[in-house]
Amino acid sequence: MKQFETVIGLEVHVELATKTKIFCSCSTEFGGKPNSHTCPVCTGMPGSLPVLNKKVVEYAVAVGLATNCKITQNCKFDRKNYFYPDNPQNYQISQLYLPICRDGGIEIETEDGTKKTIGIHEIHMEEDAGKLIHDEWGENSLVDFNRSGVPLIEIVSEPDMRSADEVIAYLEKLRLIIQYLGASDCKLQEGSMRADVNLSVREVGTEEFGTRTEMKNLNSFKAIRRAIEGERERQIDLIEAGEKVIQETRRWDDAKEYSYAMRSKEDAQDYRYFPEPDLVPVVISDEWFSEIKDRQPELRTEKLERYKKEFQIPDYDANIITSNKRLADIFEETTAICKNPKKVSNWLMVETMRLLKEHEMEIEQITFSPENLAKLIQLTDNKAINSSVAKEVFEKIFSDDIDPEAYVEENGLKTVSDDGALRSVIEKVIADNPQSVEDYHSGKKKAIGFLVGQTMKAMKGKADPAMVNQILAELLN
Amino acid sequence: MSLMGLTAVSLGKKIRAGEVSAIEAAQEAFASIEKKEAAVNSFVTVEKERALERAKEVQKGMESGIYAGLLAGVPVAIKDNMCTKGILTTCSSKILGNYLPEFTSEAVLQLEKAGAVILGKTNMDEFAMGSTTETSAFGVTKNPWNTEHVPGGSSGGSCAAVAAEECSYALGSDTGGSIRQPSSFCGVTGMKPTYGTVSRYGLIAYGSSLDQIGPVAKDVTDCAVILETIASHDKKDSTSVKREEYDFTSALKDDVKGMKIGIPKDYFGEGLDSEVREQVMAAAKVLEEKGAIVEEFDLSLVEYAIPAYYVIACAEASSNLARFDGVKYGYRTEEYNGLHNMYKKTRSEGFGTEVKRRIMLGSFVLSSGYYDAYYLKALRTKALIKQAFDKAFSQYDMILAPAAPTTAPRIGESLSDPIKMYLGDIYTISVNLAGLPGISLPCGKDSKGLPIGLQLIGNCFEEKKLIQAAYAFEQTREYEHCPLA
């Protein structure tokens, strides 16, 4: 039986986090009323002209630097010509001849720990298209140009990946880098990160690549994994049946777990690229270039090292916390206030993760402020509240970002540290539970646990357990 | 004499002095339009009511000091490829026959700020593609000197309207000679500024890297004043240039002493009408007598300008005109079956023959496998042509040439032979390829009584030299009103 190898390259589109569009000053905000974020430029009105948003260049350069690319300091835009109603000018302003970044690569690590570098062929800047909405009743289609002109970068990898695992590892890494840069939120579901998979198979040991197909419409990592596996099998089946793989674009239907041919190379479009005459070449001066470099934030690897050194938290903690930029930001901001990195890390890794899972939320959806988490930690450090109360308070912080000091005060949750009051409650507990006292004295030291529990119950949880233990021991002996 | 027989600056002066009002000036313009349009057909759209309202507003504004410039209250006609908010802007094409822009082009805004009163929109070759104003979907414009002849193009409507005295002055656009050649055919003065001087925002693009808006008027003074008004650094146009100064009128001096003027021998060879040659050489003599140093030289590469131009302009046009698809605005075919059929029918019905020819030519030269052989080669040729001009301008202050090889051809003569028509652009086209300024002004007439234009070409940003030399030449002649005026 023949052994086959999968060869995969990715084209990843990332929507940049600029406030305004790439060639006009319309808002990029998601979800406005149709055509409410439009102007003559992004609707292709005759006589309108594009003006480049400099922030797009800065983000593209930042991503290029973070992925070890060479930056084209004198780059240009080109027009890609094709007719489609979501494309108001019937051409897309993109980059073909001189893309802004070239020849880079990032190192990935798959779950089994193997490390590998995935080459990045190029990164180019371009504009997004509008959206077609098909009228379900009539025979009309409507166009919403709110997305038209939203800035994108397309990151084109080399065909260096050999499995779905590698693809996912590459995408995760890319996403993390871009999120760290603040260049995009990279949400696959919302389309701010989209990946097209170019895949071919070849017999193990062959030098030449097989015929590849391009798969579109992959909206989640799971879909990408299934599509890769499905397409690999489809191509192998064809080859083994003596048929040929046709170079074509296919659309993945994740529900049916099958891909459908969209267009083959024979009727592929000729995009008639040529240099965009309405824009001047983008010249990134040495000054501008070094400004962008200087503003480059700390990326994950550097952050990881720093956390271990500066905060002396375990590798395990540092790994998890730096795996998400938002989480790392919360960690640092909270630690800066309460100066207790290990406790902050614990709250994030245990309670926060538990609540996220419970509410089916993403880390990006966290709304609580570092100030309130820091206050909570300080309350526990001062023994003003005990750990079970703290957990209860944290749930309120997590859901409503309440001020824990005020909340504890208002709800009377403060630990009772008045020795006399606690002492009389314990005396009563001892008097009410002679059996447990006897058990304790007869050597069943565990019986003290029951008495602690009874005390806490009587105190409505507001006692410091250490103090309860201490007084109990004193009174029993 | 009618108020429209005055230059824009003289009329502006009378309005400011209170001798006539802006309203009277506009009324006279419309009286002239009503009298002559049937014969000339310079306009696609005449906006009488709106213009008279505007004239009232400007008149009031002048009295209260809002408008104080030289052009305040003076009626102007705008070529129909510049967007005017609320006024039809058709590019003389069926496909934009119903198009009402939602914004006004920057050049027109600059005029409005100066108190201009817009009379209407002038006819042109469809999408500025042509040299005769015969390819308009709204009828042929006729040459006011002889209505059996074309006015030239593509700004034929603007030039005819100025010559026929239907307006005081007009704006045109020049991609390969579209201001200078019709100015020459109509006996008026027209100027194409250095690329980037006047904002292209709102100018419906033909060849984006070549298009430039400029003035059409009765004399050099008007042109300098209009240019000073419309030139600006516009952030909405990335190709707009921030110039060191925007003063052009200070060059209106009758002095050419010591100016070095080069005459490219290559421009005076085969294909040049002998009467045109005679008059243009006579003009050179006049400048020489006034103290200029006139020399002949070899410009070289002249024969490559036309093919390079048609490749670049058509390539850009094929993409620029893609947006006219029946989806968002403009004409859409009545009946269709699905999207592709709608595209096909809309564009087949909406565009005229010359436009389709250029879209096809442009699409061809950009298609894969041909890009290097045509488009890239044309870009290289463009760069070489620029170098040839750079060399010339290292020796000369300006170049003197005819604006066109002949006087205005008869209507119907040109379209049957497009290659011949394209060859008529030989003296104007390289100026656009190199981004240079050029001016065309009357220097005589042929034996048929048709005007001949003298063209002066300057180095980038050296409009002032052109204005000065043209002004000095103009002082030796009287402005000749055309018979129809």
Q: What angle do CA B460, B464, B468 make, to 5 degrees?
A: 135
Select the residue from A274, A280, A282, A283 to test the B interface by mutation, using most B Cβ atoms within 10 A. A274
From the list B103, B316, B371, the residue facing A277 with the nearest CB is: B316
Pure H helices in B131-246: 156-163, 180-186, 220-230
Could you tell me if A425 and A433 are in contact, meaning their C-beta atoms sit under 8 angstroms apart?
A: no
Q: What is the rounded distance in angstroms from the CA atom of residue A98 to the CA atom of residue A117?
A: 24
Supply the ipTM of this predicted assembly.
0.96
Structure tokens at B297: 């030289």
Q: Is it the case that residue B163 has pLDDT exceeding 90?
A: yes
- Which residue is listed with tokens 């990592």? A221
Could you tell me if B249 and B282 are in contact, meaning their C-beta atoms sit under 8 angstroms apart?
A: no
What is the pLDDT at residue A264? 60
- For chain A, which residues make up each domain, given as ranges? 4-287, 298-410, 419-476
Structure tokens at A245: 């793989």
Pure H helices in A312-416: 315-322, 325-338, 341-346, 353-358, 370-381, 387-400, 404-410
Q: What is the dihedral of CA B99, B100, B104, B105, to 10 degrees?
A: 10
What is the pLDDT at residue A265? 54
What is the pLDDT at residue B178? 98
From the list B236, B315, B371, the residue facing A49 with the nearest CB is: B236
How far does CA A193 lie from the centroid of its chain?
10
Phi/psi at A463 (5° precision): -100, 155
User: How many C-alpha atoms does B407 have within 13 Å on its Cβ side?
Assistant: 25
C-alpha distance from A273 to closest chain B C-alpha (Å): 7
Q: What is the rounded distance in angstroms from the CA atom of residue A470 to the CA atom of residue B72?
A: 96
Q: Is it the case that residue A462 has pLDDT exceeding 80?
A: no
What is the pLDDT at residue A267? 60
User: Which of B32, B36, B42, B79 does the annotation list as catalytic?
Assistant: B79
Q: What is the rounded distance in angstroms from the CA atom of residue A66 to the CA atom of residue B479?
A: 67
Q: Which of A129-133, A330-334, A448-452 has the lowest mean pLDDT?
A: A448-452
pLDDT in tens, A301-355: 889 999 989 998 888 899 899 988 899 999 999 999 999 999 999 999 999 999 9
Q: What is the rounded distance in angstroms from the CA atom of residue A191 to the CA atom of residue A189?
A: 5
**A350-379 residues labelled b (16+ CB within 10 A) or e (exposed):** ebbeebeeeeeeebeebebebebbbbbbbb
Q: In chain B, what residues touch A90 (CB-CB under 8 Å)?
A: 322-323, 325
Q: Is B154 a catalytic residue?
A: yes
Q: Do A46 and B89 touch (CB under 8 A)?
A: yes
Select the residue from A22, A52, A272 to test the B interface by mutation, using most B Cβ atoms within 10 A. A272
pLDDT in tens, A208-265: 999 999 999 898 899 999 999 999 999 999 999 999 999 999 999 988 888 888 866 5
What is the pLDDT at residue A154? 98
What is the pLDDT at residue A418? 67
Partnered with residue A81 across adjacent β-strands are: A91
Residues 6+ apart with CB under 8 A from A274: A78, A79, B315, B316, B319, B366, B371, B375
> Among positive and negative, which fits the CA dihedral A225, A230, A233, A238?
negative
Mean pLDDT of A400-427: 83
**Structural domains in chain B, sorted by start:** 3-256+443-453+467-474 (3.90.1300.10)
User: Which of B131, B136, B154, B168 does the annotation list as catalytic?
Assistant: B154
Q: Is it the case that residue A266 has pLDDT exceeding 60?
A: no
pLDDT in tens, A273-297: 999 999 999 999 999 999 999 999 9
Q: What is the rounded distance in angstroms from the CA atom of residue B62 to the CA atom of residue B23?
A: 12
Q: What is the rounded distance in angstroms from the CA atom of residue B110 to the CA atom of residue B452?
A: 31
Q: What is the rounded distance in angstroms from the CA atom of residue B11 to the CA atom of residue B75?
A: 9
Q: Please compute Rg for chain A using Cα positions.
A: 30
Strands annotated E in A207-357: 213-216, 248-253, 258-264, 274-275, 282-283
3-state secondary structure of B336: coil
Q: Do B368 and A88 touch (CB under 8 A)?
A: no
Structure tokens at B313: 């302009």
Mean pLDDT of A127-153: 91
Q: What percent of chain B clears pLDDT 70, i.e. is strictly above it?
A: 100
What is the pLDDT at residue A335? 95
Which among A37, A36, A43 has a CA at the least distance from the CA of A20? A37
> Among positive and negative, which fits the CA dihedral A281, A286, A291, A294?
positive
Q: Is it the case that residue A268 has pLDDT exceeding 70?
A: no
Q: Specify whether the backbone of B91 is left (phi greater than 0), alpha (psi in -120 to 50) or beta.
A: left
Q: Which residue of A has its CA nearest to B200?
A: A47
Domain A419-476: which CATH class? mainly alpha
Q: Which residue of B has its CA nearest to A277?
A: B209
- Name the average pLDDT for chain A: 91
Q: What is the rounded distance in angstroms from the CA atom of residue B436 to the CA atom of residue B191?
A: 11
pTM for this prediction: 0.89
Q: Do A40 and B103 touch (CB under 8 A)?
A: yes
Q: Which of A409-423, B373-387, B438-452 has the lowest mean pLDDT?
A: A409-423
3-state secondary structure of B60: helix
Q: What is the rounded distance in angstroms from the CA atom of residue A461 to the CA atom of residue A408?
A: 13
Q: Which of A148-152, A416-420, B278-282 has the lowest mean pLDDT?
A: A416-420
From the list B201, B328, B375, the residue facing A47 with the nearest CB is: B201
Q: Specify whether the backbone of B65 is left (phi greater than 0), alpha (psi in -120 to 50) or beta.
A: left
Q: Do A83 and B318 touch (CB under 8 A)?
A: no
- Which residue is listed with tokens 């049946």? A241
What is the pLDDT at residue A417? 64
Could you tell me if B191 and B99 are in contact, meaning their C-beta atoms sit under 8 angstroms apart?
A: no
Q: In chain A, what residues touch B106 (CB-CB under 8 Å)?
A: none
Q: Is B79 a catalytic residue?
A: yes
3-state secondary structure of B47: coil
State the helix-helix crossing angle for A164-181 and A54-66, rounded to 10 degrees: 130
Q: What is the rounded distance in angstroms from the CA atom of residue A297 to the CA atom of residue A51?
A: 27
Structure tokens at A179: 């999120």
Q: Is it the case that residue A19 has pLDDT exceeding 80?
A: yes
Strand-strand pairing, A131-134 and A101-109? unpaired
Mean pLDDT of B287-313: 96
- Which residue is listed with tokens 């590892």? A169
Structure tokens at A468: 């309860």
Q: Specify whether the backbone of B41 is left (phi greater than 0), alpha (psi in -120 to 50) or beta.
A: left
What type of residue sits at position A25?
A: S
- Name the average pLDDT for chain B: 97
pLDDT in tens, B415-444: 888 888 888 899 999 999 999 999 999 999
